[in-house]
A and B are shown apart, each in its own frame.
Chain A
Amino acid sequence: MKLISEQNKRSAQWLGGILLLAAISGCGGSEESASTSVTTGDPLYVDQWHLKNTAQFVGARSGEDINVEPVWAGTAGNNGAVKGQGVLVAVVDDGLQLAHEDLVANVAVNKSWDYADRDTDPTSTLLYHGTNVAGLIAARDLNGLGVRGVAPRASLAGYNLLSDDYPLTTDIYDALTRNHIEVDVSNNSWGLAIDELGEAEPPTDNLWHLGIEEGISSGRDGKGIIYVWSAGNGGSDGQDNSNYDYQTNNRHVISVCAVDGRGRQADYSEPGANIWLCAPGGDDVFVSGGWTRLGPPTTDLKGSAGGNPATGLADDYTDQSYTRGFVGTSASAPIVSGVVALVLEANPNLGWRDVRLILAETARKNDAVDSDWSVTSPASGQPQYNINHKYGFGVVDAAAAVGKASGWSNVGDQVIVEKTVSTATSIPDNSSIGIQQSINLDAVADGNLIVEYVELDFSSDHQYSGDLEIILTAPSGTKSVLAETHDCLYLDNFGNLQTRFGSCFYDYNPWTFGSGRHLGEGSAGTWRLNVADKGNAGAYGQLQSWTLRIYGRTQ
């Protein structure tokens, strides 16, 4: 094992050169004729551990990948090779280098948007994040160049919403709905809440929500755009949680966590009851002599302008149009977006809820020794899911998802049940006992739904939201930890995180938590809410009201 193979660096250049020459000379080296093997044709493919993990690097474990080769080879239960053909993925990010050698063939003509100049070219000469993201989704395969995307024949549109750190709220709406009839997947490796601080920062307005709702109801000819969202990188300090992020709490987005090369929670990846599933996002790894980075190899701005060398990874690729220094839930989300593109090519008729269900049902249980794993108690005829606050339903499995999609029958209409308790109750300060309230859903009067998602609107005037532990327990006994007792942090003048003892910027008044952990269970019965103030003494408050909202379908 080696951290990065000099041989690979050389072979990348050599093989790339050979294939490129062959293609140019028309001597049988075209893309299509090179497609005799799923493992050749992209010189850096051997390094793409997230696609095929052979323990090729320190920090990588064989088999901890997304199992995509059978999909490309047409042996995943799908009819023929599936590579994302005909599926349009919008990359909502800081830019997309349309002319990048390994992306250009997949760029959809005139579908991108530049929010700075109001034209169709979001190429940036400095901002590389979006180009890193795009390569993971749909870098072209079998062209003798660089890397391969998960869906290497999917089409790409770049919306450079984040070309400025301060996008307009109206542009946020636009980025979520632009080309909404044609866009199938919207990848969002960004957020409106800062990671790491443990703060539940509210939205400024309803435009983000309206954009998502429009994309779900009208997008993709009414089948709904599949919104894939990075769950957040605030896990390192142990204080943040994706349930403190209003975007990833939304039931319309697929919230994606990150695992490292060994299939374990990446150091930065946030836990949360709203996590749907994980994908490889890379991490820093320790090798003899110090720390280095093992990110999923991807495209980078051409030349020396991008993440290679900006991230400072000493042994990154010598061809600076590629990098393996890109890590984060920004990297794991596009891998899921790529899998969704494969799923939608296999079955374009799937609705947005069907895609969620397929991903959940086919996710692979990773890190089996982790103590947070449990299983759901399924309603009659429903699958049982492995669930974990760190991993959601597990790591995305492309072959299993595409195989499942091929024969999938769309689920019926969504039904919503909602009940509210408004009994103001004081929460004992600095006590592990806490309070409990309950809501009973009657099987006849309310209907015993098959649960797809649960939302909980929580209102409390507690002075310090970080003190509160909030746990929802379903009639089945399945628990969702919605909030943990934690410190809120701030950045000092030197950029270091410090604890804000005794205060958070924001309270849960109100705050909507989301949970996917009750998927496939029956909704009828008693739902219990436990709230405990396990923080420091001196901050008080009441639970004022809460609303339980179950999204599901009739049995």
Chain B
Amino acid sequence: MMLREFKIALLGVGLLMSGLLHAGVESQAGAMAESVSQQSMRYFDGRRWRTVWINPQELAEFAVDDENDSLLRSVSPGAKLVQQGRKFRIWKIDQAISTAPAVTRSLNSADGSRFAPVFQLSASGGSPMVLTGNIIVRFKHDRDQQQLLDWAQQLGLQLKQKMSIPATYLFFAGQGTLALEKAELIQEGGEVKFAVPEWWRQAYKR
């Protein structure tokens, strides 16, 4: 699948599912007894490859100040707000994404930048994580501005900023699972030290 095809896709669970096919759904042989997720993707965390799991019962919505939740209610009338953050809120939906075609269809036809999947680092659960759509790329050797722009264009990325880590830049890859998919593709290409998706990751005061 060509990466540019993703550019026209809106975020939705359909895209999420296509991403799963692209990345390969991993074996569930090792899943634990209380497993709730059957969907996983692979990414390089900067040191090692990791498996990340899609929480089938939760969705992140970026329109935190929009009181109109009719879109969500149309496909999941009983959706419950479980977390309210500054950038997004997380809903628990009635029916698992993977078994709810109505959810898939509706979200695919809606504003794709409004919703995102919620990930966790275990099949059984764990702290919620949400993709920003960005990728942090550390090159083996630094590049000039034009080289960066050419490289980004080739991969359908948008250069956002240089980071303070040497030879490291932030690129926008796209909503949904695109950041995971493209990061994996870049990492496997072998010309970077790492390409890791940027996350919103839950933190706790002690």
Q: Which residues on A are within 8 Å of B, measured CB to CB? A: 93-94, 116, 129, 161-170, 172-174, 177, 189-195, 199, 201-207, 209-210, 214, 230, 232-233, 328-330, 333, 461, 463-464, 490, 500, 502-506, 510
Contact = CB atoms under 8 A, between A and B. Distances in A.
Nearest to B168: A210
A164 B86 contact: yes
A328 B204 CA distance: 13
Nearest to B44: A205
B198 A170 contact: yes
Interface in B160-206: 163-165, 170, 194, 196-206
Contact of A166 (B34, B170, B200): B200
14 contacts: A94-B205, A164-B86, A168-B199, A170-B136, A173-B165, A192-B201, A201-B121, A202-B121, A203-B45, A330-B206, A463-B32, A502-B32, A505-B120, A505-B124
B85 interface: yes
Nearest to A501: B33
Contacts of B170: 170
Interface centre among A93, A328, A505 (most CB of B within 10 A): A505
A169 B87 contact: no
A303 B128 CA distance: 34
A165 B202 contact: yes
B156 interface: no
A172 B132 CA distance: 14
B206 A503 contact: no
Nearest to A178: B164
A140 to B, nearest CB: 24
A170 B200 contact: no
A168 B194 CA distance: 18
Nearest to B52: A204
B121 A506 contact: yes
A329 B206 contact: yes
Contact of A205 (B46, B124, B126, B202): B46
A361 B198 CA distance: 40
Given A166-B201, A170-B163, A207 B46 contact: yes
A165 B85 contact: yes
Query: Which label, helix, strand, loop or mixed, suits the secondary structure of the A interface?
Result: loop
Given A165-B202, A195-B206, 6 more contacts: A168-B199, A168-B200, A170-B198, A201-B127, A209-B46, A330-B205
Interface string B1-37: 0000000000000000000000000000010111000
A205 B49 CA distance: 10
Contact of A206 (B45, B121, B127): B45
A206 B46 contact: yes
Contacts of A129: 205
B200 A167 contact: yes
A194 B128 CA distance: 11
A167 B125 contact: no
A173 B170 CA distance: 13
B205 A169 contact: no
B161 to A, nearest CB: 9
Interface string B99-143: 000000000000000000000111011111110101010000000
A6 B125 CA distance: 49
Contact of B199 (A161, A169, A232, A502): A169
B166 to A, nearest CB: 10
A172 B45 CA distance: 15
B83 interface: yes
A163 B203 CA distance: 10
A116 to B, nearest CB: 6
A107 B203 CA distance: 25
Contact of B33 (A94, A205, A502): A502
Nearest to B132: A168
B206 A189 contact: yes
Interface in B22-65: 30, 32-34, 45-48, 50
Interface centre among A165, A203, A506 (most CB of B within 10 A): A165
A167 B201 contact: yes
Nearest to B165: A210
A204 B165 contact: no
B34 A204 contact: no
A205 B121 contact: no
Nearest to B35: A503
Nearest to B122: A505
Given A116-B86, A204-B45, A210-B165, A165 B203 contact: yes
